[in-house]
Amino acid sequence: MTWSGAIVLVAVAFLVISMVKNWLNATLSFSITICLFLITGILSPSEALSGFANEQLAIIVLLVILGNVFKKLPSMGKVLSLMLRPNTSKQFLFKLVTLTSGFSSFLNNTPLVAILLPFIQKWGSKKWLSVSKVLIPLSYASILGGCTTLVGTSTNLIVNGMVVEAGLEPLGMFDFTAVGFVMLVIGISYLVIFSNRLPDNETVTNQFVENSRDFVIEMHVQPKSDVVGASVEAAGLRNLDGVYLIEIIRKSQNIYPVGPKEVIRANDVLLFAGNTERVRDLTEEHKGLSLPEACQLPEKDVDNIIEVVISQNSRLAGKKIKATNFRGKYDGVILGVHRNGERLRGKIGKIVLEPGDVLLVLAGKDFLKRMENNPHFYILSNQEEEKQIHSYKAVIFLLGLITAIGTAVLYDISLMVSLSVLLLLCMTLKMIKPSNIRNSIDFNLILIIGLGLALGKAMINSGAAKFITEKGFSMLQDINPWTVLIALFLITNALSSFITGKAAVAIIFPITLLISSKLGVEAKPLILAMTFGAAANFMTPIGYQTNLMVYGPGGYRFTDFFKMGLPLTLIYAFVTATILNYTYY
């Protein structure tokens, strides 16, 4: 073990523990690690930055941008209603997971799930179907479909980038299909049969509306009150301890979000949320405010409550709500935060946000516009509210997408080039604006992928990957390839369950190459086994972005994913090892 190898192993251990324990967000953890390698000379500046010039990274960005065009296809709600029209709950679920997995084979599954979530919530209002019975199957189906092709999931593309960087032959579009399709059939059957084991939970919004008397307090401004004629800020109602003014009801007018310069008038009704006990103290501080009463939100406001899920790479993660300036940036008021299906209590402003948290937001008129294509949130709103593109443009987009992927498969044309042409066409026809492109790019994701590629180089340069291979797999010569394949799957899967697949493949890929060399066998099946292990992530909500998207809205607990995902993971590992071993060895 060299000193550089020891540094890399310690740094990788820090990286894993930091992300598992949520000490630092993934982007900062990777940045610190790579900076250490630069300072110690393990990586040169060109090696550290080479990952950002990787073609597969550009393809991932293009697919994410085009996914936002897909979200705006007209009449998606009507199409979904027609395709998913159910007779029984099992039929609805079968159609849903089949449709989702089919689209996910060639489309980024994050915008696809974002489209389907509000649609499913509408079905959840029907007595025969609970949202929590469907959302985990929705996420799992998108993962199963994504594992069937090269472009189905960003993890596959990242690994392909590593393969090219290592000087190996690139992975083909359908190299994943033999395993992926078999597991798609098995997985759909599993989800339909065992979905009844999932909990029967109410939606977060319904829970809030039903229990809003415990959360919202109403105060009346008397004509002689000392706050009449004063602004909210001047009256001392702006930065209260543990409570905040969410709305002013003035005759037939509802004012929200309430700005600091808003002037209070006689007979206004003030609605406060948060630590409602604190509101009672205001009657002692200000004369002419009537004693507070528990109340329901006005019926028209309930329609404007939108669930917002914090994304995996959101820059809001790790910040206190009061430090986000949410009201000013997004024209919305945070009514509450739900985590693991339970509302966090106490002072709203002091809650530190985490990926997967569900924010209940009382949305102002500009909220959806300001949040459009924002990569830091998943908005669970009615798709009819979003601006849609014309029907003929939708046909052009779908034909263009099929053509772009088809030319990359059938002809010697780079997928990046064909997708770039499609994006240029979308911009020319004004399906997407340049400003929307900027907003839809997840820069944290780009940093993690680029720095992850550099991490792989550091493990090889330092000898850390060789050390792990020799010590951890010292008996490889006596192990058959099937066992190695299943071991690679399970190790990568376990790691990706807690630090995401993108980080896991960055650590395991160089080790996989050395295992191949040590065994004297073809590297491709080992790489595929590792990739399936990273992408087929069912056991935790934090391992894959679609799991995180359904985590809060479904009111799930961490164990719900483990109970449903563990059997599916073990089946996937067995099928992967068996098919790859039969095909290649």
Strand partners for 379:
308
Asked whether residue 118 falls in the same domain as residue 192, the answer is yes
Beta-strand relationship, 332-339 and 342-343: antiparallel
Asked whether residue 172 falls in the same domain as residue 96, the answer is yes
Q: Are 271 and 249 in contact (CB under 8 A)?
A: yes
| Mean pLDDT of all residues in 358-381 | 75
Select from 405, 440, 475 the last residue of a domain: 440
* CATH, residue 250: 3.30.70.1450
Asked whether residue 226 falls in the same domain as residue 263, the answer is yes
Asked whether residue 147 falls in the same domain as residue 235, the answer is no
Select from 380, 410, 440 the last residue of a domain: 440
Is residue 538 situated within a structural domain? yes
Rg, C-alpha atoms of the chain: 26
Asked whether residue 83 falls in the same domain as residue 201, the answer is yes
Better-predicted residue by pLDDT, 402 or 542? 402
Residue 47: its pLDDT value, please? Answer: 85
Q: How confident is the model at residue 139 (pLDDT cuts 50, 70, 90)?
A: very high
Q: Are 400 and 422 in contact (CB under 8 A)?
A: yes
**Residues of the chain by 3-state class (helix, strand, coil), percent to 5:** 60, 10, 30
Select from 425, 440, 455 the last residue of a domain: 440
Asked whether residue 480 falls in the same domain as residue 578, the answer is yes
What is the total residue count of the chain?
585
Residue 404: its pLDDT value, please? Answer: 85
Which domain does 22 fall in, by range? 3-42+447-584
- d(CA 69, CA 424) in angstroms, rounded, equals 12
Better-predicted residue by pLDDT, 47 or 274? 47
Is residue 326 situated within a structural domain? no
Asked whether residue 475 falls in the same domain as residue 511, the answer is yes
pLDDT above 60: residue 127: no
- d(CA 564, CA 539) in angstroms, rounded, equals 7
Asked whether residue 80 falls in the same domain as residue 35, the answer is no
Q: Are 151 and 59 in contact (CB under 8 A)?
A: yes
Q: How far is CA 174 from the centre of its chain?
A: 25
User: Per the structure, how many domains does the chain have?
Assistant: 3
Residue 137: its pLDDT value, please? Answer: 93
Is residue 349 situated within a structural domain? no
- The tokens 């799992």 sit on which residue? 140
Which tokens belong to 494? 């376990």
Residue 396: its pLDDT value, please? Answer: 83
Nearest of 150, 146, 154 to residue 170 by alpha carbon? 150
Helix, strand, or coil here: 107? coil
443-469 pLDDT, tens digit each: 777 887 788 878 878 888 888 877 777
Q: Are 530 and 485 in contact (CB under 8 A)?
A: no
Helix runs in 473-557, H state only: 481-499, 501-519, 523-535, 545-551
Is residue 98 situated within a structural domain? yes
Is residue 310 situated within a structural domain? no
Nearest of 144, 105, 175, 142 to residue 580 by alpha carbon? 175
* The amino acid at 115: I
Q: Crossing angle for the helix pair 76-83 and 109-124, nearest 10 degrees?
A: 70
Q: Are 86 and 92 in contact (CB under 8 A)?
A: yes
Which tokens belong to 168? 């190996």
The whole model's pTM is what?
A: 0.73
Is residue 144 situated within a structural domain? yes
Q: Are 353 and 337 in contact (CB under 8 A)?
A: yes
Asked whether residue 562 falls in the same domain as residue 453, the answer is yes
Asked whether residue 177 falls in the same domain as residue 99, the answer is yes
Which tokens belong to 441? 């790019």
Residue 82: its pLDDT value, please? Answer: 64
Residue 282: its pLDDT value, please? Answer: 66
| Mean pLDDT of all residues in 286-315 | 67
- d(CA 473, CA 471) in angstroms, rounded, equals 6
| Mean pLDDT of all residues in 281-300 | 62
Asked whether residue 429 falls in the same domain as residue 451, the answer is no
pLDDT above 90: residue 578: yes
Is residue 244 situated within a structural domain? yes
Is residue 194 situated within a structural domain? yes
Asked whether residue 160 falls in the same domain as residue 274, the answer is no
Buried-exposed string 16-45: b where 16+ CB fall within 10 A, e elsewhere: bebbeeeebbbbebbeebbebbbeeebbee
Q: How confident is the model at residue 526 (pLDDT cuts 50, 70, 90)?
A: very high
